[in-house]
Amino acid sequence: MKRIVLFLLTNLAVVVVLSVVMQLLGIDRWLMQSGLNPMGLLVMAAIMGFGGAFISLLMSKSMAKMSVGAQVIDAPASADEQWLVSTVQKLAEKAGIGMPEVAIYEGAPNAFATGAFRDSSLVAVSTGLLQSMTRDEVEAVLGHEIGHVANGDMVTLTLIQGVVNTFVFFLARVVGFFVDSWLSRGEQRQAGTGMGYYLTVMACQLLFGIAASVIVAWFSRYREFRADAASASLLGSPRPMIGALRRLGGIGPDNLPQSLQAFGIAEAASRFAGLFASHPPIPERIAALEGRAPA
C-alpha cells in the first residue's frame, strides 16, 4: 500500500517522540488530574500537532537528500549538468521563486521537490529520468517540480498536517480518558492516569494517524494537477508535460522510496489503495491537461 512521503514519516516519528515526551514530563497526567479538560487538552494538542508538522517541514530537505543519496550540483561538471542547472534557474525566475538547489540521484525515472521555503528549496531528478526523456520532457518535469515550490505546496501540506496532528492528539486522549475511566471504575485513584489510558492513547494515535492520512493523500493528489498546470504555464504549452506523463506511463517509472512518494511524479502502482495514493492516475492528469476533465 502506497502511503505518503518522507515528510509524513518524519512527522509520524516526531509526533511519537512528542507524545512520549508529554508522558515523561507528566503533561498527560496534569491535563487529566481533575478529569477531562477539553479546552486545555485542545490547546496542548494544537501546540504539539503544529509543532510536529513544522519540525518535519524544517527537516524535509536534509532528510530527502539522505533518503535517495542526492548529490547537489555545486559546480556543473558536464554539459548536461549545466543545462539542468540553467533550466531550473530559468523556470525559477519565471515562477518568481529563489534559485533552488539542484541535485541528481541514481535511480529509474522520477523527480521530486521539497524544502521549507519558496526561496530555499531542492529540486532533484534521477539519472533514469535524464537518460530516458527528451530535454523538452525533462524541462516539463522540472516545471512541474518548480510549480510545487511556487504554489507553496509544502507549507500548505504542513498546515493540513498540523490540523490533522492536532485532532489525532486530541481524540486519542479523549478516547484514552474514557477507556481508562471505564477500566478503573470503582478504584480510588486519579482519573486518566492508568495504564489503560497510555496504551489506548498510543494505539489510537496510530489508528487515527492512518485514517487522517486519507486527508493528506487527497491534498497530495489535488496538488499534482496544480503542478501539472504550472508546468504548462511556465513552458507556454501543456504538450511537453503530456509527453512526459505518457512516457512515464509507458516506461513504468519505479517508485521513489516510500518516504518521498508524495514529492515525486510517479503514479501509484496499486489502485486498490486509491484513498491513500499520493498521485492521481496518469490518464486523469493527461485528460486534465488536455481539457477533457476538470483538474
Q: Which residues contact 134 (CB under 8 A, 6 or more apart)?
A: 243
Distances (CA, A) of 15 to 11, 56, 235, 260: 6, 10, 40, 18
Torsion of CA 143, 123, 161, 23, to 10 degrees: 180
Look at residues 198, 263, 197, 265 and name the one whose alpha carbon lies nearest to residue 10: 263
Instruction: Decide if 96 contacts 150 (C-beta within 8 A).
Output: yes
User: Which residues are 112's β-sheet partners?
Assistant: 124
User: Is 145 annotated as catalytic?
Assistant: yes
Place of cell 542547472: 85
Instruction: Decide if 263 contacts 153 (C-beta within 8 A).
Output: no
The Cα 151–Cα 153 span in angstroms is: 5
CB count in 10 Å sphere of residue 158: 23
Q: Give the single-character DSSP code of 33.
A: B
Angle between helices 135-150 and 239-251 (to 10 degrees): 110
101, 137, 139, 145: the catalytic one is 145
3-state class of 2 per DSSP? Answer: coil
Q: Give the single-character DSSP code of 196.
A: H
Cell matching residue 7:
515528510
Look at residues 291, 259, 295, 292 and name the one whose alpha carbon lies nearest to residue 278: 259
Active site residues per annotation: 145
